[in-house]
A and B are shown apart, each in its own frame.
Chain A
């Protein structure tokens, strides 16, 4: 209700940022509340629109500089949940966390989940996200049965493997460009309880990682490694290997899931994550467990979403924001490539707070522009220190380019058009399916003529 016009502070700017808080762009926003509304193209003939979920992608894939963002987060209704088959239909603005709240107690879990549960279903499809079980399960898109795509001309296209399969494939990993996903139908995964049997193994170098990963990927549903990216030489790539399976039964008395959540409250005047804190953190984290191996049964939240425990952790990087860098490299070259990338980072000494390494499996995604490929993926984040950071990332690009890898658009704010186009050979095919009224900052950047 309008009250004190003078007291209003505009937070729209704050709200419609990407998670990396870089780049910062000028754009307008409209909210879509209901799936049966049409898109607001009548009022923006000269401007493009872009569906926006919960702003958890990192770079500019969810931004539309000079255009309009269509906030879909309020289309957050469930439509149908069959507890026998685990098939869930919901509107695209529903968060994965909201799905889990409804389904976990009834014995169903997300078939694939990224490292945060605060993404919308629409965002998960548009970025064809993956998780710790990619080696077995593939991407999120593999479990999307059907969805409705709303186009700016008012057309509503039902897409599945058998119906409008071309739009289905262009929309999964389609970066939100093919239209607005109003609802989607997902196949969930059956679980006996909300716990994971987890094992954490400290390993000494990259060779050990690849050995552990190959062995673990046979018998473990979820595997991932945290890498100490400041380690060099003999210890290059050392870290903690985390693997887990859905628990068959609950053993003994388990700690109740914690409900308290911390929120990082303010914008610090400088990045709290800097060279010094990184060195300390990486070293301490690597040595956090005395024994080489620990086994435990843990609740699904700390296992899948350790960072969700601190809301707004992105502010730790200060107001200049940060870069995520995630690449995929093909199997044949992965050892050398990952080694080379870690070496380059070690040399510059601006290590990453969170370096995550995992092997991708070979289950294909239906998505045309899906990111994962059989091989390995490394995800890093760097505080935005301007030219210095950009220079390092350019060097990493060179490694990826050489071996035919690719960079994840959901986390990118700066890759060159040549690298995108080389990494995603189908990008030209994609153009035929893009809605004429939809565009994004990322898409304009990576399809610019070099």
Chain B
């Protein structure tokens, strides 16, 4: 949903888009929508991100179809059930596959492409949950935390190649991934996150929290000494 909302902003600005996702009928629904909203062209391709062997092919197809890429947004993910993961390494491994390894795999190819090209933007959706591990959510948190750290290094590497790497850290977002949860004051709509991403790309930012106030919430949470933090029920 965040990806869809962000793509709409690019469509309205008249960009050409190449959408990659698992479900063909949903892809087509989104592609039709983006065309009506003003996208110059919209292409789609199927990819199950757990099928690592297809990553390189998928990226090459996108590069060929659009005649080169200027910007990539990686926005897929699942929200693991923490309690279930505590009982099952298989499940934890799968969640890491979806939320971490698939992203790293895609980034491996993309980083080299953009490094060669000498310009471009890579935006990746991580999470505020990756800023500190907590008992209620540390499988998702560590999966996203790895992505955050990986991006930090990648940004450092690609800076000299004029490639902008953006880490997007949304807080609570009202999407299908979080359906069934009670939505409160801290929750944001995907459109709001999309706005932040769109502006971050435009302004070549490095790390953005979405909405902005999460930067300060997470600052406080990160500052709590471990001695105290481990006793908290978070």
Contact = CB atoms under 8 A, between A and B. Distances in A.
Interface in A1-52: 1-5, 7-12, 15, 31, 33-36
Given A1-B127, A1-B129, A78-B33, A33 B183 contact: no
* SS of B interface (majority): loop
5 closest cross-chain pairs (CB), A and B:
A78-B36, A77-B33, A8-B184, A9-B184, A81-B36
Given A9-B184, A78-B36, A36 B25 contact: yes
A3 B179 contact: no
B225 interface: no
Interface string B105-144: 0000000000000000000000111000010110010000
Nearest to A90: B36
B178 A1 contact: yes
A261 interface: no
A77 B29 contact: yes
A102 interface: yes
B172 A1 contact: yes
22 contacts: A1-B79, A1-B140, A1-B170, A1-B172, A2-B82, A2-B129, A2-B178, A3-B129, A3-B186, A8-B181, A9-B182, A10-B182, A11-B184, A15-B183, A34-B25, A34-B29, A36-B29, A74-B1, A77-B33, A78-B32, A78-B35, A102-B38
Interface residues of A, number: 26
B137 A10 contact: no
A102 B37 contact: yes
Interface string B1-44: 10000000000000000000000011001101101111000000
B170 A8 contact: no
B224 interface: no
Contacts of A15: 183
Contact of B184 (A10, A33, A102): A10
Given A77-B29, A77-B33, A80-B32, A2 B136 contact: yes
A3 B137 contact: yes
Interface string A46-87: 000000000000000000000000000010011111000000
A7 B186 CA distance: 8
Contacts of B37: 78, 102
Contacts of B32: 77-80
A180 to B, nearest CB: 16
A7 B176 CA distance: 20
Given A34-B29, A78-B33, A5 B136 contact: yes
B228 interface: no
Interface of A: 1-5, 7-12, 15, 31, 33-36, 74, 77-81, 90-91, 102
A11 B183 contact: yes
Contacts of A7: 184-186
Contacts of B173: 1
A403 B128 CA distance: 63
B36 A2 contact: no
Nearest to B4: A77
Contact of B30 (A12, A36, A77): A77
Contacts of A79: 29, 32-33, 36
A80 B36 contact: yes
A148 to B, nearest CB: 13
Contacts of A4: 186, 234
B171 interface: yes
Contacts of B129: 1-3
Contacts of B26: 34, 36
Given A1-B127, A3-B172, 17 more contacts: A1-B128, A1-B171, A1-B178, A2-B137, A2-B172, A3-B171, A4-B186, A11-B184, A11-B187, A34-B26, A35-B29, A36-B25, A77-B30, A78-B33, A79-B36, A80-B36, A81-B36
Interface string B183-195: 1111100000000
A11 B25 contact: no
A11 B185 contact: yes
B22 to A, nearest CB: 13
B137 A1 contact: yes
A2, A9, A36 pick with most chain B CB within 10 angstroms: A2
